């Protein structure tokens, strides 16, 4: 993320692989949480408790800026356990490509689905990082940027994001929660 406060100054950023407006997330909760899955207003979603990893600086900044309640977690799996146990209500997560939008194909992540009808802009572009001190760092960044531009112009980059679910036609009409 461009604004990641932990990003070292000796790192170079590629052009945006995903632009800020393309990083869209859902309000994911466990399938058993009918109390959360049944919510039908943006105000209700703003009042939820969000599991967030202690080291997810950008996520924590986003929640803080929006005034949304954070429930700290040690890591990804503990964040999911907090949601399932009801100690947190949801976790912000890019949409998946599955028909039911569940996070994963198998295992515990398949049990997490988004609250239907709502989405949020994450507001942060995604980039690749390169070492400014490595002799090939600037060269690699330049060539990756050229490749990204070719993929973007040809429509292949958007196609890849759609195939992964990050850009999701199924959620394009869903209500924005700010």
Q: What is the pLDDT of residues 124-146, one digit of tens each?
A: 888 998 888 899 999 999 999 99
Residue 35 is predicted with a pLDDT of 96
Residues 44-65: tens digit of each pLDDT:
999 999 999 998 888 999 999 9
pTM above 0.85, yes or no: yes
CA distance 119 to 176: 5
Q: Tell me the two tokens of residue 48.
A: 């939820």
CA distance 1 to 63: 15
**Please, which pLDDT band fits residue 28 given cuts at 50, 70 and 90?**
very high
């Amino acid at each position: 993320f461009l604004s990641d406060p932990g990003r070292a100054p000796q790192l170079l950023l590629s052009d945006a692989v995903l632009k800020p407006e393309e990083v869209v997330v859902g309000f994911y909760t466990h399938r058993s949480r009918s109390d959360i899955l049944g919510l039908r207003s943006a105000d209700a979603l703003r009042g939820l408790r969000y599991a967030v990893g202690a080291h997810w600086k950008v996520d924590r900044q986003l929640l803080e800026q929006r005034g949304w309640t954070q429930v700290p977690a040690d890591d990804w799996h503990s964040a999911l356990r907090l949601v399932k146990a009801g100690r947190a209500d949801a976790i912000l997560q890019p949409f998946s490509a599955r028909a039911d939008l569940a996070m994963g194909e198998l295992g515990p992540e398949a049990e997490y689905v988004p609250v239907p009808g709502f989405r949020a802009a994450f507001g942060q572009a995604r980039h690749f990082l390169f070492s400014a001190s490595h002799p090939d760092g600037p060269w690699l960044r330049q060539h990756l940027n050229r490749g990204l531009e070719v993929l973007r112009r040809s429509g292949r980059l958007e196609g890849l994001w759609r195939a992964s679910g990050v850009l999701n036609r199924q959620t394009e009409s869903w209500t924005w929660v700010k």
